[in-house]
Amino acid sequence: MRIVIAGGHGQIALRLERLLAARGDEVAGIIRRPEHGDDLQAAGAEPVLCDLESASVEEVAAHLQGADAAVFAAGAGPGSGAARKDTVDRGAAVLFADAAVRAGVRRYVVVSSMGADPSHPGDDVFDVYLRAKGEADAYIRGFNSLDWTILRPGMLTNDAGTGLVRLEASTGRGPIPRDDVAAVLAELLDTPATAGLTLELISGSAPVSVAVKSVAGN
């Protein structure tokens, strides 16, 4: 498969790129800083320079032409203010979905956040973030032309992955290593029967492949 990842230099994205490249997929990662290209190449991915905060739908669609799947893993990051939560966490996710439709890419996997909700109250930056992610998720769920899966991980850690997870419509809160999030994303890309599902993810007791197959059967 050819898979294009938005936010290609993110911590989860780099892990996912390594996994996909190692199993023989063709991977491209969208980045906005040229100096990040070397890290993507080291992970086995093709760096694609494109700023999702300023690009047009047509420009992004051109980068998605010929792809079998798209993954939205971009984020404004923990040090950013409320304005960029809107332009990246909501705006770029909407743009990337529109571009996927324009390019004819049906499979669309989103890295969202536990607690994402378009009507989440509050004015703190994290409140704005959860609202922005919720608005983006709601927008993507409105597409019949996308086979979307929305993944909402719990508290992200840099602990070594265990390969054991809990993946359900509602898991309750808990931590999850970024390694295991990437492993679940790779498995979701291989499991089109998970299209139309919004899933929460925390550490658990089920091997990744078993957890994904289980939700695909629901």
Task: Clarify whether 129 is annotated catalytic.
Answer: yes
| 82 or 203: which leads in pLDDT | 203
The pLDDT mean for the chain works out to 95
- Secondary structure element (H or E) that encloses residue 60, with its range: helix 57-64
Greater model confidence, 151 or 76: 151
Contacts of 198 (CB under 8 A, 6+ apart): 112, 137, 141, 149, 150, 152, 169
Least confident stretch, 45-54, 73-82, 96-105, 120-129: 73-82
SS3 (DSSP) at 202 = strand
Q: Evaluate if residue 218 carries a pLDDT over 90.
A: no
Cα(178)–Cα(172) distance, rounded to whole angstroms? 18
* Measured distance CA(206)–CA(24) in Å, rounded: 25
Residue 4 has pLDDT above 70, yes or no: yes
Contact status, residue 40 vs residue 47, Cβ threshold 8 Å: yes
Encode pLDDT of 187-199 as tens digits.
999 999 999 999 9
Please check the confidence at residue 217 and state whether its pLDDT lies above 90. no
Q: Is the pLDDT of residue 213 over 70?
A: yes
Higher pLDDT, 84 or 174: 174
Q: Which of the residues 96, 129, 134, 150 is marked catalytic?
A: 129
Mean pLDDT, residues 116-128: 91
Q: What's the pLDDT at 80?
A: 80
Q: pLDDT at residue 127 above 70? A: yes
68-95 confidence digits (pLDDT tens): 999 999 987 777 888 888 888 899 999 9
CA distance 75 to 92: 9
